[in-house]
Amino acid sequence: MLEVTVRGIILDDNNVILMFRRKNNKEYYAIPGGHIEENETKEECLIREIKEEYSIDVEIVKYLGVVKKGNKIDYIYKCKWTNGSLKLGGEEKERNSEENYYEIRRVTFADLNNIDLFKENLDMIKKAIDN
């Protein structure tokens, strides 16, 4: 079955706001977002998911494209932070533990090549920075 999600790249000065994860003894970074609920547009889903995960409001600036990995499709958007303070929330806060760790982090543009991030996601972040 196809898994469809939306993800938002949030740029803040010379930083990208990403979710740092530690799970199954692996550390990596992810672009925030999630699954589309019934009767919800991709854009509505993205705004809701970022509000739930990061406790901030965003405005969608631009659609950047699609990342396909196996049976998963991510629709990627560039977003602008409009209101609120970064604070872990939603399911991520509820599930947060030493074994399944979530932390919001600002990553400088210069450090993007030094973190564990899917190559396709890194390419989309670079596209967001350039556009």
Q: Are 11 and 64 in contact (CB under 8 A)?
A: no
Q: Single out the catalytic residue among 3, 27, 59, 94.
A: 94
**Has 94 been annotated as catalytic?**
yes
Place of tokens 């993800």: 7
**Residue 13, phi then psi, degrees to nearest 5:** 55, -120
d(CA 39, CA 31): 23
**Which residue numbers are catalytic?**
94
